[in-house]
Amino acid sequence: MTGIVIAVDGPAGTGKSTVSREVARRLKLAYFDTGATYRVGTLWCLREGVDLSNQDDVAAMVATMNVELILNPDNPSILLEGEDVSRLIRSDTVALQVSKVATNLEARRILGDWQRAVIAGEQEGGYSEGRGVVAEGRDITTIIAPEADVRVLMTADEDVRVARRAGEGADAATVREAVLGRDRQDSTVVSFHTAADGVVTVDTTDLTIEQAVQAVMSLAKRDA
């Protein structure tokens, strides 16, 4: 996959998924939610009865799972063994367990290599006919694609982030644990609260989705 690479990192609830997907749609780029790779790995391990605390078994499972990515921003999806599990990987069950996979360093290495290959167009999932990709996650600006053309760290006030997720209809207590608990756990293996050198911070606390989209779009146009 040649063309522009836009990398967007940040904690949950900042709007990075919504903004990244919309930017990809408007610029006709592929959209890659790298967090979905950890979620589908978690779902696969749960389905296969793997103890998520057994790091070797988890790494072995994510290395061999059969997953297909659809990177169309109008309908991004992920297939596991041919089954569309795009909704299942967003369940509370997966959300509360995914950090056990995301903080497994060997699993993270395996999934990171896969993410790099997808961004580079070396594996299936292409959509944008060489125009490029918007990839979002926790460590895209620093570990996965540090040479991306545009690198953004999206932040927001903690209470605002929780309120946004709670507003999606989930139980408030579950949302708080899923959002803040995962942030605490994931921060043990990757930094996503402070922008690295060359990464632009976009604070969405007081921004509408459209304003956040325009902020990222302006950076992409500046790079063009």
Report how far Cα 46 is from the mean position of its chain's Cα atoms. Answer: 20
pLDDT in tens, the chain (224 residues): 468 999 999 988 899 999 999 999 999 999 999 999 999 999 999 999 999 999 999 999 999 999 999 999 999 999 999 999 999 999 989 988 999 999 999 999 999 999 999 998 866 565 666 789 999 999 999 999 999 999 999 999 988 888 887 766 566 677 777 777 767 766 666 766 677 788 999 999 999 999 999 999 999 988 66
**Residue 187 resides in a domain:** yes
Nearest Cα to 43, choosing from 71, 21, 67?
Answer: 67
Stated as kind and residue range, the H or E segment containing 81 is none
Distances (CA, A) of 115 to 27, 36, 69: 21, 10, 11
**Residue 224 resides in a domain:** no
**Residue 223 resides in a domain:** no
**Residue 152 resides in a domain:** yes
Q: Which domain holds residue 160?
A: 4-216
**Residue 208 resides in a domain:** yes
Report how far Cα 129 is from the mean position of its chain's Cα atoms. Answer: 22
**Residue 222 resides in a domain:** no
Binding site as annotated, residues: 10-18
Binding site as annotated, residues for ATP: 10-18
Residue 171's domain is classified under what CATH number?
Answer: 3.40.50.300
Rounded Cα distance between 52 and 104, Å, is 9
Which residue stretches of 12-147 are H helix? 16-27, 35-47, 55-64, 92-95, 98-102, 105-119
Is the pTM higher than 0.85? yes
Number of domains in the chain: 1
